[in-house]
Amino acid sequence: MLKRLVQNTVVSAIVFGLVAVLGVIVIPIIIRTWGVAEFGLIVLTRLFLPSGLIGVIDFGLAEVTTQVVARAREHRDWRLAGGQLLLLTVVSLLLAIVLSAAMWLTVPLIVAQFKVEPAHAASFTNMLLATAASNLVLFPALVWEGVVKGFERYGLLRLCEFLTTLLYVGATIHAARSGQPYEVVTYYFLGSGLLRALILLGASIAALSRTRIRLSVPVAAVSREVMTRCILVMQGKLIGGIIAPIQPFLIGIYIGPQSVGIYDTLVRIPRLAKVVASLLISAMLPVVSRLDQRDNHRQFNRFGETGIMMLPIVTVPPLVAAAVMSPAIMHIWIGPQIVPYAHWMGLMFVVTMCFQYVIFGNTLFMTRTKVQGRLNMLMMIHLAVWAVLTLAAVNVLSERAFILGQTIGTAAIVPWQLMIFVKELAMDAKRFWVAILIHWTILAIAALLLAAILYFAPEPGIVTLTGLMGAFCAATWAAQYFLVLSEDQRGQIGSLGRTYFGRKGVSPATL
């Protein structure tokens, strides 16, 4: 199980890293070809997809389906899993029909609310109608994706994402060079998403056909249990996950499409970094579900403590370096037109850093509803802080007020989230907080040195930036290995390496 986890993690990080690079490459092409306002309209249409704003009410279909399949693989009760999957499929179809119909009927209102210029009104309307129709397939695809994840077929999932993204980027570049209108970018994006959905459908059918699953109507108790998990996941998305996708929606309503383009450009790289970093635990949910099914609290707690400690040690250093280098990155990526706002991109990296300290714990306790409820309560505080600060600053900072509110709101609740993790996992609180303090002392000293180097080396090239980031990460990782990790944790890393690459396979004790 651990070997599959490591394999899936590595595959996810590498392949989705390539997908992220493709996404970064295509943005300046869109902006330079069609303009910031047109890019803003493209971004607005994507809010109405399951991957955007509308995805916060998806009932956690992908996550709950993953848990259902992973648990069935552990307890072998495929009759129970068949009823649960049938219920999730029906929910996804009903949700797709209701949301698509509502969107189709309200398209004129949406166009008016976003203050779309008359020259773009017709094209934007057609883009929204195409998005509404696509959702009839894309919402059920969440269940198909959950099945693939439950069987831990992350290689297939990431390869599918890479190939469909490659097709989309290639088509967009062709459209830019051949002088096609900006709206074709949305149609290419929807086409790539539908192709991905159909591939996942085929993969999920193939995987389930090898089991003894039988679709049947679940009993009332099973239905309640599944829907409770769905509602809790959706509640977490509504409270915390809504902040990121709702911001361009609000900016489009109150400021306009051009500010949406500016905002999306400032947050795009930090957001992609957040997604890529989250892939390090993307393969964890089926493993956690199977561990929880075994009811081995010691094994569960040891796994959780190691992950919560190790993930930020690995992922935060490159994020700190990127935040310090934000002006130089923006100049190379987009050009001089948005460089004056580049320090806001650096501030947005703080949100991504905070995410690294809690994502492992959030995924870990997705199987325990009481803890998840307490975490959701903290996200309500996050939402309140974000709303108050953004509203207070929007008249002065425009779209950048949304970045300020999100940054402060996210950072404010991280200590409380970590306290919950420490208590639930029976960790040594004093040792944990001392390790966090040393961890940030190392990063702060290294960040000051990096800022000093950049001050005396204006407008560095991409090779220089890559070298500086590599040196920064190597130095901070080495320092944290010896100064932050305990002797036992360093020993676990060595045991994991020896077990993973050894001839005898993976020892269960490594978990």
State the Cα angle at 201 between 199 and 207, rounded to 5°: 105
What pLDDT digit, counting tens, does each position of 256-305 carry? Answer: 788 888 888 898 889 888 877 776 665 555 555 556 666 666 777 777 78
Q: Which of 248, 242, 246, 257 is nearest to 111 (CA)?
A: 257
Q: How many domains does the chain have?
A: 1
Residue 480, in any domain of the structure: no
433-444 per-residue burial string, b: 16 or more CB within 10 A, e: under 16: eebbeebbebbe
How buried is residue 393: exposed, middle or buried, by Cβ count under 10 Å (0-12/13-18/19+)?
Answer: middle
CA torsion, ordered 391, 394, 395, 399, to nearest 10 deg = -160
Q: Which helix (H) or strand (E) holds 413?
A: helix 400-424
Inter-residue contact 398 to 343 (CB < 8 Å): no
Residue 348 within any structural domain of the chain: no
Decide: 364 and 307 in contact? Cβ < 8 Å: yes
Domain membership of residue 254 (yes or no) is yes
**70-92 tens-digit pLDDT:** 888 877 788 888 899 999 999 99
Give the contacts of 15 (CB within 8 A, at least 6 positions apart). 158, 159, 161, 162
Among residues 297, 252, 480, 274, the alpha carbon closest in space to that of 357 is found at 274
Instruction: Give the tokens for residue 105.
Output: 């009927």
- Would 164 be classed as within a structural domain? yes
Does 333 map to a domain? no
What DSSP character marks residue 340? G
Q: Over the stretch 83-128, which tens digit does the pLDDT of each residue have?
A: 999 999 999 999 999 999 999 999 999 998 888 888 999 999 999 9
pTM of the model: 0.67
Give yes or no for a contact between 268 and 27, defined as CB atoms under 8 angstroms apart. Answer: yes
- Does residue 215 sit within a domain? yes
In-domain check, residue 278: no
pLDDT band at 506 (very low <50, low <70, confident <90, very high): very low
CA distance 184 to 434: 53
138 lies in some domain:
yes
H or E element that contains 303: helix 297-324
| CA angle (197 as vertex; 195, 199 as ends), nearest 5 | 70
Binned at pLDDT 50, 70 and 90, residue 480 comes out as very high
Residues 459-473 have pLDDT tens digits of 788 899 999 999 999
Could you list the residue range(s) of the whole structural domain that residue 18 is in?
A: 1-258
Whole-number percent of the chain with pLDDT over 70: 86
pLDDT single digits (tens) 423-478: 988 888 999 999 999 999 999 999 999 999 998 887 788 899 999 999 999 999 99
Q: Tell me the pLDDT band of 503, cut-offs 50, 70 and 90.
A: very low
